[in-house]
Structure 1
């Protein structure tokens, strides 16, 4: 028996704002959308254009307040081929929330407060 990653899910408060952020900050594009007939929720799967892994954004129609992420001890991680260029982009976007110069990495946060670790691809 062999398992492989397919996707991760996060719930988002403002779907359009999140889709825009992930496109601008990471180049992720929508690859699939699902919405039931009653329109009680909407799923948008984002892809990086390279791997088969997807990030599923879930929006719930009846949600009236942002999510409480608690201690927010989970995160996503991406690698990038031009670390310096990515860092400059994220600096301009004002979304860098933590940097560890000694380890050569930094984190950005999305509109809901989820953290994304950014690593150089040649690490």
Structure 2
């Protein structure tokens, strides 16, 4: 008998146009780390996660890959070879526009929402929604290079946007 109390939400997969651009965004902007790459004949999957979730520092990529199915919060980026140089490629549906509305976003918590938003501005990140816009003043949304939405909120609501 399988015990659902042991189940974990392990990862989410996004299809991406250009792995160089997307990996740089997730590493430099959000602080994730690529720890595994898995190539197929016409695609490559890249696995990224926040380093703190591996339960130890200074682990090798092989050690992280061995632990990947026992943790939560992994992002898999799937690159179908050739999309990065295809001038006719229009990109993937983000799930937030027609056709294809369905998927919404992933969410990342940060230590300080205002400071994170300033950092994103300094890095030239495109915003969908800033904390000062709309009714929900405690969140922001940014776009990744493929147009996927990423919700940004403070990990401590007491120090959320003031």
**Is TM more than 0.5 here?**
yes
- Is residue 60 from structure 1 mapped to residue 80 from structure 2 by the alignment? yes
1:108 counterpart residue number:
142
| 1:71-86 correspondence to structure 2 within 5 Å | 71=97, 73-86=103-116
The count of corresponding residues between Structure 1 and Structure 2 is: 121
Distance 1:31 1:82 in 2: 26
Alpha-carbon shift at residue 85 of structure 1 (Å): 1.7
Instruction: Please tell me whether the aligned partners of residues 32 and 51 of structure 2 are also in contact (alpha carbons under 8 angstroms).
Output: yes
More strand by proportion, 1 or 2? 1
Deviation for aligned residue 1:99: 2.4
SS of match in other structure, 2:142: strand
1:121 lines up with 2:125 in the alignment: no
Could you tell me which runs of 5 or more consecutive residues in structure 2 were left unpaired when the two chains were aligned. 54-70, 158-162
Larger radius of gyration: 2
CA distance in 2, matches of 1:121, 1:15: 28
- TM-score, structure 2 as length reference: 0.68
Pick the aligned partner of 2:44 from 33, 37, 42: 42
Once superposed, what is the RMSD of the aligned Cα atoms?
A: 1.7
Shift of 1:82: 2.2
Aligned with 1:68: secondary structure?
Answer: coil
More helix by percentage: 2
CA–CA separation in structure 2 for the residues paired with 1:94 and 1:43: 24
8 Å CA contact 2:94, 2:104 repeated in 1:
no
- 1:18 corresponds to 2:22: yes
Alpha-carbon contact 2:94-2:149 (below 8 Å) kept: no
- Offset of residue 62 of structure 1: 4.4
Distance 1:13 1:19 in 2: 11
Q: Does 1:32 align with 2:21?
A: no
